[in-house]
Chain A
Amino acid sequence: MKALCYNGVGDLRTERVPDPTIINPKDAILRVILSSVCGSDLHLLNGYVPTMREGDIIGHEFMGEVIEIGSEVKKLKKGDRVVVCSILGCGECQYCQSTQWSLCDNSNPHAWIPEKAYGDSPAGIFGYSHAFGGYAGSHADYIRVPYADRGCFVIPEGLPDEAAVFASDALPTGFMAADLADIQPGNVVAIWGCGGVGQMAIQSAFLLGASRVIAIDREPDRLRMAKDISGAEVLDFSKVDIQQALREMTGGRGPDRCIDCVGMEAVSEGLDYYYDKAKQFVRLESDRPIVLREAILACRKGGTVSIIGVYGGLVDSIPMGAAMNKALTFRMGQQHGQRYIPRLLEHLQKGELNSGFMLTRKMSLDEGMAGYDLFNKKETMRVVFAP
């Protein structure tokens, strides 16, 4: 089959690789119909996630058709059109059973790698480096899905592939960001980052009762979508002082809930960007926590900061004094997709959430590198490959 393989920083190649086969009884094999790029792939591609190996197939946000099932797969059958959670959960460990799926004890065969850095191992993720299991990703004609009954969700009839594919990652991640923020009716929510996850977080925040959502980015297209489609008020951080603007827009209080949908590769117009970039370059810091710092300062006293943008390693100059003395609550984590996906598919079907607009470019696998270049330069919202 064809697959998009990592060959080094900024180097993806479409290659011929063997077809996947059933390895364990709970596996299924899917024919990939759509497979989306994701902002977190850029962390891999730009070299911020170690333990990538040449030849790894990337991609983790996908939907497809079940073509083969293992002997212990009970719920799925051949021909099912399914969307698959990007994070793997075994369904049996204590974490999965308490619906904290991204903390699964069993789905990372390389648990010993993150354990060294994190003290524990999070779940495995498709196509997301060997620290997260080294699973072959979805930018391929076919993919093996372990624990298939747990990770695959049948797409309701009538819901198009183009909308359903985002129920794999961007939508449940954005929804979880809003859920973690513990939004109370009437809350004002500020959201940094208007990529796929940010857009979904905006819509989810409204769904969970926010009265206003203020979205922050600098890409005109993304700000336009945040405003016109997702319904947020928008701020362009390249043009306005975010701290001041958020204060003034909230009567001096600050937003009740702040959501970081950016993570470790944040950019800003200020000196702090160059400070973090330099430290990252000499490996004194692995992540650039520009958004996190901003969110802590902007958040109202007693508010909640929800972190869903991915951080991988170490950060510094976090204003802990501000966080402590303002009695902020921090909530964070990788998405527990299996908890949210069934509910989100319903919201999509009823038109209460809109995800299909994010697919701005459909390309073939052969155009993989070009697709990521476009996405990396933020020239398009989301490139989706149709193998």
Chain B
Amino acid sequence: MANKKQPVSSVLGMGPIEPDISGSSRINVDDTERIWSAAGGALLATYGLRRGSFSGLLLATLGGFMVYRGASGYCPMNQALGRNTAEPKADDKAVDSIEIAKSLTINKPRKEVYAYWRQLENLPQFMFHLGEVRQLDNKRSHWVAKLSDGLLAKTLGPVEWDAEILAEVKNERLVWKSVADARIDNAGEVSFVDAPNGQGTEMHAVIKYRPPAGQLGGAIMKLFNPAFEEMIKQDLRRFKQLLETGEITTIAGQPSGRKSEQQSGKKPVAEQAKIDEKHESAML
């Protein structure tokens, strides 16, 4: 099979911005330490999961953390302590950024679509994986992710970052980048174009991120990338639903014969994120 490596953003003429190399995409654990960390972590995690008790879960969590540390070459504790056991030119070893490009057409005027998006506080309404976006000033904003996976959330801790708008053309284009030392270095561009024949607005989004992981971790993250892509696509679809119909299409809270769902009754929209995430990860 041909290796189709040309990024989609280049077809769209978008996405020239690369995320910073900072925070967790940097490697600060050296190779030997990484191998031991990963191997020991895997043992601990297996042992912990076998025990099945609460303390077993703790062990498993610790093991998971060590595997992550080994796989990624990034240790938040090292970072906090200013300790770097990797080679001096660690920055050069940061993995390539991963790109996600998604487009869809929204049957609303460009001005309206842009205005809703530009009000960044609106984003968590349809991006269920965001806990909060706070606009700090006209250019800077603070982002808080919402991790669905309990273990992952415990291992990574809160995923938050500041972002800065680098370029803005009203009703046309927004380019942003996470500010140095972000938990996940990321950058992105959204552009809004009139669709032909009055079909509304074409929205093109390109998001690039550096996985919180080193070379090996990068490979693992690439396995998960389809899920992230799907997540972004779902987010954009909900954006479209909200703008076009004023509501987000859902079946969360409807009756079924499944006993596990029968206590739940009516659920607020935010709760449905969990259900959607479950479905999304089931597709992996």
Contacts and interface: CB of A to CB of B under 8 A. Distances in A.
A53 B258 contact: yes
B257 A15 contact: yes
Given A135-B251, A147-B245, A57 B257 contact: yes
A94 interface: yes
B245 A5 contact: no
A130 B253 CA distance: 15
Contacts, number: 109
B26 to A, nearest CB: 33
Contacts of A6: 257
A54 B266 contact: no
B200, B234, B249, B254, most chain A CB atoms within 10 A: B249
Interface in B238-262: 240-241, 244-259, 261-262
Contacts of A20: 254-255
Nearest to B104: A105
B279 to A, nearest CB: 7
A56 B251 CA distance: 12
Interface in B90-148: 105, 107
Contact of B241 (A18, A54, A106): A106
B101 to A, nearest CB: 16
- Size band of the B side of the interface? 35 or more
Nearest to B234: A112
A19 B255 contact: yes
Interface in A8-41: 13, 15, 17-21, 23-26
B237 interface: yes
A25 B244 contact: no
A236 interface: no
Given A17-B262, A112-B230, A112-B283, A135 B254 contact: yes
Contacts of B252: 23
A23 B254 contact: yes
A94 B195 CA distance: 11
B283 A23 contact: no
A113 B230 CA distance: 10
Given A94-B199, A105-B240, A54 B247 contact: no
Interface string B151-192: 000000000000000000000000000000000000000000
A25 B246 contact: yes
